[in-house]
Structure 1
Amino acid sequence: MLAAFVPIWALTAVGFVAGRSGVLGAAAVDVLGRFVFYVAMPAALLNTLTRQPIGGTAGKAVAAFALATLAVGAVGFCAARWVFRRSLAEQTIAAMASGYVNAGNLGIPVMVQVLGDASFIAVVLLIQTSILTPIILGTLDVAQSDHAAGRWRRLLTVPLRSPVMLACLAGVVLGAVHVHLPRLLGDAVALLGDAAVPSALVALGLSLVPRRDGEGEARRPVEVTLAVLLKSLLQPLLCLVLARFVFGVTGPALLAAVLCSALPTAQNTFVYGRAYGVDGTFARDVIVASTGLSMATLTVVAALLG
């Protein structure tokens, strides 16, 4: 378990030290965040979806995970909308913070360490990137328009303006027809995609450094606590109930579904929010807190169900 978490904390610490020392400059977090969103992450998604095409039945365990994710995300969205009175973009980030799991750089090593198999987390990763990500980015894009007509135009054209969604669409299409990128191009895309996770973690660490100008969003401890509880406790518990008592899932499949639900909030929450002008303080705090708490929840899940 430590082997899965240590690289995350180490790269986040590197970003914090770099930001504290000022060696990368005052605009580093914005520049690095844009690099991840517009360059590295599309390459990573394109590489993943073309090499592991979506196909076949996802299974009852994945269905339980998906339903739990949607339910908890909806609770986070509604709380941000009607309790905390946040904007549409902030509501979307709150929903993502409550249910979007860190399936890539943390989920894969955890599943391999506990189950010895990453097939379940691969399906989850594909669902998140090809289904949830377009919904999230589409909503964030719509939130930037003040008029209804403008919102519809932005929604219809968002795939043309978002490199992440373009990469998802291209990857799904190429994977469905079993067309792979030429080796030289594919290797370059894979190499660039490998920079997405470490760059996102360094950007997250940079964001932990207080701004010298004092600007930025105020801390939101109540909202952060709610999002962390939804993500780290309610989502795995709901997934357990759905998988075991609704779908009748047992054994390794049950462990895989609940273990995946107990993963912390993905750092993409911070990256997407900053890319669409949402202050990253809330997302950053949820990511850090849920990642720390998940060391305990993942261990408990593995001990009880393993």
Structure 2
Amino acid sequence: MPSLHPLLSAFAPIWAITGVGYVVGRTRLLGPHAETVLNRFVFHVAMPAALFLMIARTPLDRFANPSMLAFAAGTAVAIGLGLLAGKLVFGRKPGELAIGAMASGYVNSANLGIPVTMQVVGDASFVAPVVLFQILLVTPAVLAVLDGGAAGRRALLTLPVRNPILLAAAVGAAVSAAGLHLPAELNRSCELLGGAGVPTALIALGMSLHNRPPADGRSRRAEVGLIVAVKTLLQPLVALAVAGPLLHLPEHQLLTVVLFSALPTAQNVYTYAREYGQGTVLARDAVLWSTLVSMATLSVISWTLGPA
């Protein structure tokens, strides 16, 4: 069974870069508007480049496999519960509801999913279909709600053209479906731009910790706690129930699905919240606390479901 050390190694860069961001924010090294500028760079430049390249390189038929049914079931239950709790218990508005729901079920599939599954399973191929599922199905729904609140009367049909994340995903899917091979120069350019996305987003996340607003009482703490519990406990339990008793997946596939479902909330959620000014504090706290708690839950999963 894997020790705790490999998992700590996977999480260490996340905390280190976030810590650098906190120092940068505390010292005001980049000026008063740096957090906003960095988030807009991630949203409008780096993240679209990374998503376009990843989807363009991935055959779309990899999206359809039994393991994805279990992962999708866990995601649907987590997001649905996040929506219900946000609306009925915490009285969130539509944009904040979308962020809360996304924080409840949107996993950190790439920069944590790859190292964690490589350490525990020895295979990170499940990353591609998870990314496709989240970018092509979950993200458009969330961004449609966020953009609808911000856009007023602008037609929803123009959203993919106006939103760089959805535009990059759509163009990447078209390239993949057509079987086109990207020029080496375009590949390299997108790799360089996309590679800046994760560290920049983490720097911005760390900077936001220095400007913490006054706590708004037990309600927000309870909401963050519920989101973290749904993300790190309920979502993998639902995936386990579907992948095991219902689909009877082989042991290595079962472990992979449950591990991916237990990954913490992706920092993308904070980037979207910051860009649209909806549920920013909720998204930030969900990312931080789910990342911390998932170190324990992922360890338990690897010990209980992993090979002897």
| TM-score in terms of structure 1 length | 0.94
Report how far residue 121 of structure 1 moved. 2.0
2:271 matched residue in structure 1: 271
Q: Answer yes or no: is the 8 Å Cα contact 1:47–1:190 preserved in 2.
A: yes
Report how far residue 56 of structure 1 moved. 4.5
Report how far residue 3 of structure 1 moved. 1.5
Q: Answer yes or no: is the 8 Å Cα contact 2:63–2:129 preserved in 1.
A: no
Q: Answer yes or no: is the 8 Å Cα contact 2:99–2:279 preserved in 1.
A: no
SS at match of 2:181: coil
1:166-206 residue CA offsets vs partner (Å, 9 max, x unmatched): 00000000011111221112211111010011111111101
Is the aligned partner of 1:144 residue 2:145?
A: no
Report how far residue 108 of structure 1 moved. 0.8
Paired with 2:85 and 2:41, the residues of 1 have a C-alpha distance of 31
Paired with 1:74 and 1:111, the residues of 2 have a C-alpha distance of 26
2:3 matched residue in structure 1: none
Q: Answer yes or no: is the 8 Å Cα contact 2:53–2:187 preserved in 1.
A: yes
Q: Following superposition of structure 1 onto structure 2, how do residues 158-197 of structure 1 map, counting pairs within 5 Å?
A: 158-197=159-198
1:112 matched residue in structure 2: 118
Is the aligned partner of 1:131 residue 2:132?
A: no
SS at match of 2:60: coil
Paired with 2:230 and 2:109, the residues of 1 have a C-alpha distance of 17
Is the aligned partner of 1:62 residue 2:68?
A: yes
Paired with 2:22 and 2:205, the residues of 1 have a C-alpha distance of 8
1:96 matched residue in structure 2: 102
Paired with 2:50 and 2:38, the residues of 1 have a C-alpha distance of 16
AA of the residue aligned to 1:100 = Y
SS at match of 2:111: helix
Give the 3 Å change call, closer, same or farther, for CA 201–56 of structure 1 in structure 2.
Answer: closer
1:206 matched residue in structure 2: 207
Report how far residue 78 of structure 1 moved. 1.3
1:6-29 residue CA offsets vs partner (Å, 9 max, x unmatched): 010010001000001110111111
Paired with 2:63 and 2:15, the residues of 1 have a C-alpha distance of 35
Q: Answer yes or no: is the 8 Å Cα contact 1:111–1:121 preserved in 2.
A: no
Report how far residue 50 of structure 1 moved. 1.0
1:84-132 residue CA offsets vs partner (Å, 9 max, x unmatched): 1111000000000000000011111111111111111221112111221
Is the aligned partner of 1:42 residue 2:48?
A: yes
Paired with 1:88 and 1:181, the residues of 2 have a C-alpha distance of 39
Report how far residue 144 of structure 1 moved. 2.2
Report how far residue 250 of structure 1 moved. 3.1
AA of the residue aligned to 2:262 = A
Aligned length: 298
Instruction: Identify which range, 247-256 or 136-145, moves more after superposition.
Output: 136-145
AA of the residue aligned to 2:171 = A
1:247 matched residue in structure 2: 247
Report how far residue 279 of structure 1 moved. 4.3
Paired with 1:181 and 1:61, the residues of 2 have a C-alpha distance of 29
AA of the residue aligned to 2:170 = L
1:183-233 residue CA offsets vs partner (Å, 9 max, x unmatched): 11221111101001111111110111126xx6x884610110010000011
Paired with 2:279 and 2:27, the residues of 1 have a C-alpha distance of 22
Unaligned runs of 5+ in 1: none
Report how far residue 145 of structure 1 moved. 4.8
SS at match of 1:278: coil
SS at match of 1:122: helix
Q: Answer yes or no: is the 8 Å Cα contact 2:62–2:128 preserved in 1.
A: no
> Cα RMSD over matched residues?
1.5
| TM-score in terms of structure 2 length | 0.93
Identical residues among aligned pairs (%): 48
